[in-house]
Amino acid sequence: MERHLLQITGLTKSYDGGRTHALSDVGFDLHEGKSLAVLGPSGCGKSTLLRLIAGLETPDGGEVVMNGDSLNDVPPHRRGFGLMHQDLALFPHLNVRDNIAFGLRSQRWESEAIESRVNELLELMRIEPLAARSVDAISGGEQQRVALARSLAPRPRLLMLDEPLGALDRRLREELAQEIRRIRDHEGVTLIYVTHDHDEAFAVADGILVLEQGRAVQHGPPEDVWLNPATPFVARFLGHENLFRCEVSTGPNGIREASCALGFWQPVAPSDTPRCTALIPPEAVTLTPLNQDDGVAATITDVTLQGGSYDVTLRIRGETLRAGVPVSAASTRPQPNTPVSVTIDWTQTRLLNWVE
Q: How confident is the model at residue 98 (pLDDT cuts 50, 70, 90)?
A: very high
Q: Are residues 151 and 273 in the same domain?
A: no
Q: Which amino acid is at 61?
A: G
Residue 214 within a domain: yes
Does pLDDT of 266 surpass 90? no
Q: Which of 87-101, 213-227, 258-272 has the highest average model confidence (pLDDT)?
A: 213-227
Of 180, 213, 236, the last residue of a domain is 236
Total domain count, the chain: 3
Q: How confident is the model at residue 262 (pLDDT cuts 50, 70, 90)?
A: confident
Burial of 256 (0-12, 13-18, 19+ CB in 10 A): middle
For residue range 3-29, list pLDDT tens digits in order: 679 999 999 999 988 889 999 999 999
Cβ-based neighbour number of residue 223 at 10 Å: 10
For residue range 27-48, list pLDDT tens digits in order: 999 999 999 999 999 999 999 9
Q: Are residues 97 and 228 in the same domain?
A: yes
Q: Are residues 226 and 251 in the same domain?
A: no
CATH number at residue 104: 3.40.50.300
Residue 130 within a domain: yes
Q: Are residues 141 and 270 in the same domain?
A: no
Residue 355 within a domain: no
Q: Are residues 313 and 323 in the same domain?
A: yes
Q: Are residues 123 and 257 in the same domain?
A: no
Q: Which amino acid is at 100?
A: I
Q: Are residues 289 and 274 in the same domain?
A: no
224 — phi, psi (to 5°)?
-70, -40
Residue range(s) defining the domain that contains residue 298: 280-349
Q: Are residues 103 and 193 in the same domain?
A: yes
- Beta strands (DSSP E) in the chain are 4-15, 20-31, 35-39, 61-66, 69-70, 81-84, 158-162, 190-195, 207-212, 215-220, 243-250, 256-260, 265-266, 275-279, 285-289, 296-306, 309-316, 319-326, 339-344, 350-352
Q: How confident is the model at residue 309 (pLDDT cuts 50, 70, 90)?
A: very high
Q: Are residues 173 and 188 in the same domain?
A: yes
Residue 197 within a domain: yes
Q: Are residues 251 and 218 in the same domain?
A: no
pLDDT at 269: 58
For residue range 207-233, list pLDDT tens digits in order: 999 999 999 999 999 999 999 999 999
CATH number at residue 330: 2.40.50.140
Residue 354 within a domain: no
